[in-house]
Amino acid sequence: MTMTDASLDVVGIVGAVTRRLRQQILSGELAAGTPLTEAKVSAAFGVARPSAKAAIEQLVASGLLIRSVHRSARVVSIDAAMVRDVYRTRTRLESAALRELAAAGAVPDAATAANAEIAAMPPGPDEATVDPDLRFHTALIDGIASERTSRMYRSVLDEVRLCMAQVQGRRLIDAQVIADQHAAILDAVASGAADHAAALLAAHLGSAEERLIEALGD
């Protein structure tokens, strides 16, 4: 789709280009290591060079692109160290949220609804579990009603999706297993068992981390 400065203001243009590039990166359409120059983005979307530059800088700031000195920005290539850092950051943020939720015995409705979607899926591994799974975890963060924490977490989730996009055969597990693990976390939160909820979460995310790293090795 072509966008022009005449049809959109500059902020709108930059946002539209950023969203489209983000989609291409997270879907795997733009592969790891793909260079993105201002000229290339400008030509691809029919926008001015300054708008292309601003979109690129936003994606560098979000961790989806990397820019080295005297080199063009390029799509980040994940490795085991990145996967571990991303998942351990997730665990820190989500564990803190779970402890707050458990202190009040508050189970976010959105988390319950997302897990119900997973529980209703047919048995077996299915890529369709990825979206409701991430919505479940996001609902835990949003449940503590902290705008800044939610914003930080969504930045991390972009990197989680990037890991998934770049790793083929990512060893998804049975939908019912995921639903059962989520349900156990929510039960612990509802009963006020903060330490138990955090331990269950750590095991849940730790298992996903190891599967991604194994697939990366393949």
CATH number reported for the structural domain that contains residue 205 in this entry: 1.20.120.530
Q: Give helix 10-26 / helix 147-166 axis angle, nearest 10°.
A: 50
**Does any domain span residue 188?**
yes
Nearest to 140 by CA among 173, 99, 87, 168: 99
What's the pLDDT score for residue 10?
66
CA distance 218 to 216: 5
Q: Are 190 and 94 in a shared domain? A: yes
- The whole-model pTM stands at 0.80
**Does any domain span residue 4?**
no
- Cα distances from 84 to residues 37, 120, 157, 184, 193, in angstroms, run 29, 30, 13, 24, 26
How many distinct structural domains can be found in the chain?
2
Domain that holds residue 202: 80-217
Contact 111, 187 (CB under 8 A): no
Q: CATH number for the domain including 55?
A: 1.10.10.10
Confidence of residue 77 (pLDDT cuts 50, 70, 90): confident
**Does any domain span residue 1?**
no
Contact 189, 105 (CB under 8 A): yes
Q: Both tokens of residue 34?
A: 């793909």
**Greatest mean pLDDT range, 15-24, 64-73, 90-99:** 90-99
Q: Are 101 and 157 in a shared domain? A: yes
Higher pLDDT, 115 or 32: 115
Q: Are 139 and 207 in a shared domain? A: yes
What's the pLDDT score for residue 168?
52
What's the pLDDT score for residue 1?
44
Residues 154-188 pLDDT 10s? 988 888 888 877 765 556 788 899 999 999 999 99
Q: Are 145 and 192 in a shared domain? A: yes
Q: Are 147 and 195 in a shared domain? A: yes
Confidence of residue 70 (pLDDT cuts 50, 70, 90): confident
